[in-house]
Amino acid sequence: MHICYIIAMQAEAQPFIDAFHVKEQEGAFAPLPCRLYQTEAEVGKKLSIVTLGRQHDRDLVGCEAASVATLAAIEKLHPDLVINSGTCGAWARKGADIGKVYVADSVMFHDRRVPGDDAWDTQGLGNYPVWEHSGEVARKLSLETGKVTTGSSLDLQPCDEVIIEREGGELKDMEGAAVAFVCSLAGVPVMLIKSVTDLCDASASTLETFQKNLYQASEHLAEVNRKVVGLLLS
Ligand code: ADE
C-alpha cells in the first residue's frame, strides 16, 4: 500500500517527517511549490508526505493550494490512499479540547453558498465520501470521529456558522474538503485526521490561540499518525 499524506504547513508536518526520517525529494513538483518527502521504497509499502509549500513569505494554506498539491500528488505518485492531516478549530461545547485528535466521518464545505439553485448549492457544499475504513481506524486507535467542514477563512462568520450548525459540523479547517474533492474526482480514497488548535466558542483571538497551540497540536498529530502508519503499513 502507498499512503500519501497531504499536510498544509511545515510546522504541522515536521514532527511526523522527523519521526519517519523521510527525505525531501527536492524539486519533485517543480515549478509547483508543494514539497515531497518519501520513505525508501519497501516492497508493497510506501509513505509519501506532501506539504503545500510557500508563497508571500508564509506557508500556503487553504483550498486552492490543497487542491493543486493533491492533484499533483495523485498524478505523480498514484497513491492507494490519501490522508489529509492537519490542525482545525472545534467547539468546547461539542466535547473538543486543544490537542485532541479526530478522524473525519464526513467532510464538506461551509462557505460556498448558491442561494436559489438547490443543485448548485448542493454541489457547493460538496459532502464527499471518506475512506470506508476511517471509522475502523478511529476505533482501533481510540480516536473520536467528527464531521469536518472546510472554508477559506480562519475566522468564523455568522453565515458560515449557520451552515456548520445546520449540517452538524464539528471540526473546522481550511483544506479537508478541497483534498476530498480532488480525491472524489480521481477515485482515490481519502481519510482525514485533524488535531484541534483553537476553540471556536472561546472568546480568545483565533489566530493567537492557533499560533500558541500549533506545536502541541502538531506533536499529538504526529503521535497519532505514527500509529496510523503502523496500522496500515504493517
Ligand atoms: N485551522 C486551525 N484552526 C482553524 C480554524 N479555527 N478555522 C479554520 N482552520 C483552522
pLDDT at 211: 97
Separation of CA 153 and ligand 1 centre (Å): 8
Q: How many domains does the chain have?
A: 1
67 in contact with ligand 1, CB cutoff 6 A = no
Q: Is 12 a catalytic residue?
A: yes
**Residue 47 pLDDT grade (very low, low, confident, very high; cuts 50, 70, 90):** very high
197 in contact with ligand 1, CB cutoff 6 A = yes
pLDDT at 194: 98
Separation of CA 98 and ligand 1 centre (Å): 12
172 in contact with ligand 1, CB cutoff 6 A = yes
- Segment 49-73 shows an average pLDDT of 98
Exposed/middle/buried for residue 223 (C-beta within 10 Å: 0-12, 13-18, 19+): middle
42 pLDDT higher than 80:
no
Alpha helices in the chain (DSSP H): 10-20, 63-77, 118-125, 134-140, 158-167, 176-186, 206-233
Instruction: Tell me which residue range forms the domain holding 104.
Output: 2-232
Residue nearest (by alpha carbon) to ligand 1 atom 7: 154
41 pLDDT higher than 80:
no
Q: Any idea what the CATH number is for the domain that residue 29 is in?
A: 3.40.50.1580
**Residue 230 pLDDT grade (very low, low, confident, very high; cuts 50, 70, 90):** very high
pLDDT digits (tens, 9 = 90+) for 76-94: 999 999 999 999 999 999 9
